[in-house]
Structure 1
């Protein structure tokens, strides 16, 4: 890592640490804090029972190895058991239902008598209303803005939540693991020039999407020094026209399997068969990484498969499926790649025609 990059990383970590520290204060044995949605509230001195509602909230709890504190889950977690943290911890699906996804139900949450409600992507009005109805403090692990969770937001959420759940060591461990993987990917490719145009399609956005759903600043591409053929600094996930995709004509395409059925339908259209990647059989499948917001373990696992596909010599000693299992074990406690592959298809070249 260059001096300037190392310096910027130190600055980012210092800023995150200072922000998290400034959010907390102790008063008369109770903890008073400002959450990441800038809401001031007091927490009970002892927190043993929690629920997590909204996209990514339960995932953060599992990442911090605090799943044994959870006393209820959204109905979505029981009905759709396709995310790594749920596959790794099926015991969570045996817990009582606390309402639908994207926020739960006040009566069902209160019935489980949690000490704390951890929320994500809820508005301040929704959180205040839920807190008033349940008389249970509601904290937010993000500012409620729509879109995928970024790396900076992940680290902020982990450190913030770790302070509350007494999981500081685990948060630091996981952030270090994340950075180690990212640095390995970057170091092995920093001096390599791919010499071809790449594209990511099928990115989920409030459900499955087809081949024209893409993402600017796609993290695996950034880690590997790649550029999506279509970038937009002001956007994250967005949809392009089919004409734009055909005009840019990428030489190699990766598809998020969250939208694989729609992509398969797209590729039956005659015009898409003129894509260079289609004609040269260079379309590859990745595991869904944006499923109830960002799955960071899957994102890293996908990065290794992309690297293995594009830079086989640089990654010949690192088999992507084995790395995926390592990453899942580090993040959710179990090596669940085979289960994910059974559900979605796993890392492979797409069969065409």
Structure 2
């Protein structure tokens, strides 16, 4: 082959190679344009769920946040956030948890149901008065940060700006209450962001149907025909004694019980004078088992006070499992409601075995029956003794 022909062959092959490269680039560009969402943003492929795309959601403080949906790596900060993720079946997406969730072993059924979460990296101290640890959050590279109570709108914006990670604020309503609507909205939001919207709807429907069932069971009973009831030793920033109670106590509200504290016209946590309890003299006394040891010690020091109470004299003192631990454990609150119903209105709850019902509730909401672990920590549903016979 002559030198001229050789040069022409090399030149032709070079042109052909360039043409093939340009065609490949054009194909990639066309494919990416085809993956654009209606907003014009290119969808990003994620493992196991096909494509994710950026969506704008509105969180519980009214912030519009751009989030990759469905998120593949998440963290949950502050009271109640991780619980909602567990209800929405998103624990397999969690890439780090607060130190408090690891080191405080009791009171939170979701940690009994998902103990493997404790092996994840620590993303901050945890607790209601803590500040998010930005460096720890960045180290686990989440797609989104769910957070409750620790930030307001301005602080959420600041955290998002500093980390570059979308921050979605959730809520249970004011502390020590049971604001279903805010919980439902938060669950819906979690489900939307992690791609489990149907599961979130199922949880919401289950809670609503349970509350409807509780209300219907006592419907038509006049207040004058209901026993007077009181719950004491409710935890408020630590263990409390018999004087710590709550007006509009959710388990009582759920069953329409005659809570003597409601006569105050107030709502939420209250500290009453001991003499007021004697004046009310409830027929049935419930003790939050988180404070039972404190009440028992007080009863040994002041037996005459307790012996003056009708409920104590008649052996009508019962234990309730604490449901407020890192805000509301909805599962335990429902279980407490059914147990209170069984005690106060036995004829209306004849078909209910409180322990079996509790296991049904825990299993539906968390995937595992954890009543026995809660009972091991606190005592479970049973009569309590306050004074020596």
Normalising by structure 2, we get a TM-score of 0.80
How far apart are the structure 2 equivalents of 1:149 and 1:248?
25
Give the alignment partner of residue 98 of structure 1, picking from 101, 108, 123: 123
Query: How many residues are matched?
Result: 329
1:274 aligned partner: 308
How far apart are the structure 2 equivalents of 1:345 and 1:210?
17
Task: Check 1:143–1:172 CA distance in 2 against 1; reply closer, same or farther (3 A cut).
Answer: closer
CA drift of 1:254 comes to 0.9
Give the alignment partner of residue 86 of structure 2, picking from 62, 65, 79: 62
Q: Which structure has the larger Rg over C-alpha atoms?
A: 2
CA drift of 1:28 comes to 3.9
How far apart are the structure 2 equivalents of 1:57 and 1:91?
17
Is 1:176 matched with 2:176?
Answer: no
How far apart are the structure 1 equivalents of 2:352 and 2:381?
14
2:33 aligned partner: none
Give the alignment partner of residue 319 of structure 2, picking from 281, 285, 293: 285
Contact kept? 1:121, 1:145, Cα under 8 Å: no
What pairs with 1:66-215 in structure 2 (closer than 5 Å)? Answer: 66-82=90-106, 83-102=108-127, 103-124=131-152, 125-142=154-171, 145-192=174-221, 194-215=225-246
Q: Any stretches of 5+ residues in structure 2 without a counterpart?
A: 1-37, 42-53
How far apart are the structure 1 equivalents of 2:77 and 2:121?
13
Q: Any stretches of 5+ residues in structure 1 without a counterpart?
A: 1-25
How far apart are the structure 2 equivalents of 1:183 and 1:343?
30
Task: Check 1:257–1:42 CA distance in 2 against 1; reply closer, same or farther (3 A cut).
Answer: same
What pairs with 1:254-269 in structure 2 (closer than 5 Å)? Answer: 254-268=286-300, 269=302
Q: How large is the RMSD of aligned CA atoms in angstroms?
A: 2.0
Contact kept? 2:68, 2:193, Cα under 8 Å: no
How far apart are the structure 1 equivalents of 2:350 and 2:364?
22
How far apart are the structure 1 equivalents of 2:71 and 2:240?
40
CA drift of 1:165 comes to 1.6
How far apart are the structure 2 equivalents of 1:296 and 1:224?
15
Task: Check 1:311–1:227 CA distance in 2 against 1; reply closer, same or farther (3 A cut).
Answer: closer
Is 1:305 matched with 2:336?
Answer: no
Task: Check 1:27–1:33 CA distance in 2 against 1; reply closer, same or farther (3 A cut).
Answer: farther
